[in-house]
Amino acid sequence: METETQDNLALYDSAARFLAEQCGFARHLRIQRSSIAPLDRALWARFADMGWLGVLLPESDGGLGYEVADALPIVEAMGQQFVTEPYQEALAAMQLLLTQGDRTQRGHWLPSLIEGSALMLLAHAEHGAGYDLRCVGTRAQSEGGGYRLDGTKCAVPFGDSADGWLVSARTGHESGDAEGLSLFIVEAGSAGVHFARHEGICGEPCVDIVLDGVVVPAAARLGSDGRAYPAIEAAHDLLLALACVESVGTLKSVLDSTCAYARTRHQFGQRLSSFQVISHRLVDMFTQVELTRSVARFAADQFGPARDAHARRRRQLLSACKAQTSTACRLVGEHAVQIHGGIGMTEELALSHQVKRLLSIERRLGDRFEHLGRIAEAVSAGEGIYA
């Protein structure tokens, strides 16, 4: 998506206005100071009413049939406000259900997911795996015509508010192998499911999901036995692109706040923005924001039937996009705090929470060094983004 269309701009404006009213800083602070922060079901239902939950699903399944690039304005607007709800994770789970689920599974779950009465999330990451999607130790053993799941999934946002999870588990091979991975639908309330609650970098509620002898029927498995890895990679690619897009909104918000502060704050009888070193830093921040905006659009354009046929190259390009995104998140966040001084990290200032969000995006799904390493490995193997 090289240029903004009128539809894109209109969608962004409507999303930005709605989220500014519903997801302001005051609401964010109330959630942060609450000991328990369950999913805001009323807000989630509003997302559904606006068509956002089914935005990437085909019209034949009740969605809007948008391409990823067409949905970019919604995610960017969320990044500009204080939206903690697991919107991106829900989109990825619905895409997995769409591509891997059979007619019965799709018919049972998709309507309620689109209308916002249910939430399903992907539970894949595990402790010690780093950013390697193949490192899965959770096991699925055949038992009584179904499967018994044992293992632990980590850092699932709002995981204890979900109505179901798409759990990756091994039906064969060892941890680190791409083969032998399967996906299972585990419904909330299943016996043997336990939670360990904690918070993310910017205070977002996360849970580790402990699966202790969870028994699911054979019909709960998505797709072919042991062949789920390519679909999990595709979901990861989508999440990478959406993280890049989200960062644009947050980066722009941090830049605007910092520019406003530098224009109004005085030192030695002059505005901060009049000092050359400050103005240079603001220019550096602006450059990083605009560069990240470009790579985010490029990342969103890597999806569609023509692109899906070249998934390996897409992952290399997305790694390049995420490396730039992580670089921008770190630089813009650090410059913003340095220009603000000590007040820049106080809880009462919205900017401090946005900077923490930038740090969260920087590390999410792989930091700059992880993705530069992937590109280096591809180049060493004779591939790479320019091969």
Residue 45 shares a structural domain with residue 178: no
Sequence-ordered list of residues with C-beta below 8 angstroms from that of 259, at least 6 positions apart, any chain: 273, 282
Task: Let me know how many helices (H) and strands (E) the chain has, helices first.
Answer: 12, 10
Summarised one tens digit per residue, pLDDT across range 147-202 is 999 999 999 999 999 999 999 999 999 888 999 999 999 999 999 999 999 888 88
**Into how many domains does the chain fold?**
3
Q: What is the mean pLDDT of residues 121-145?
A: 94
Summarised one tens digit per residue, pLDDT across range 272-287 is 888 989 999 999 999 9
Residue 141 shares a structural domain with residue 265: no
The answer to whether residue 387 sits within a structural domain is no
pTM comes to: 0.94
The answer to whether residue 145 sits within a structural domain is yes
The answer to whether residue 269 sits within a structural domain is yes
Residue 131 shares a structural domain with residue 233: no
Summarised one tens digit per residue, pLDDT across range 329-381 is 999 999 999 999 988 889 889 999 999 999 999 999 999 999 999 999 888 88
Residue 362 shares a structural domain with residue 288: yes
Which of these, 2, 56, 6, 89, lies nearest to 293 by C-alpha position? 2
Structural domain boundaries enclosing 125: 121-222
Domain boundary among 82, 98, 119: 119
Residue 110 shares a structural domain with residue 134: no
Contact 165, 121 (CB under 8 A): yes
CATH code assigned at 308: 1.20.140.10
Residue 302 shares a structural domain with residue 165: no
Residue 201 shares a structural domain with residue 262: no
- Residue 384: is its pLDDT beyond 80? no
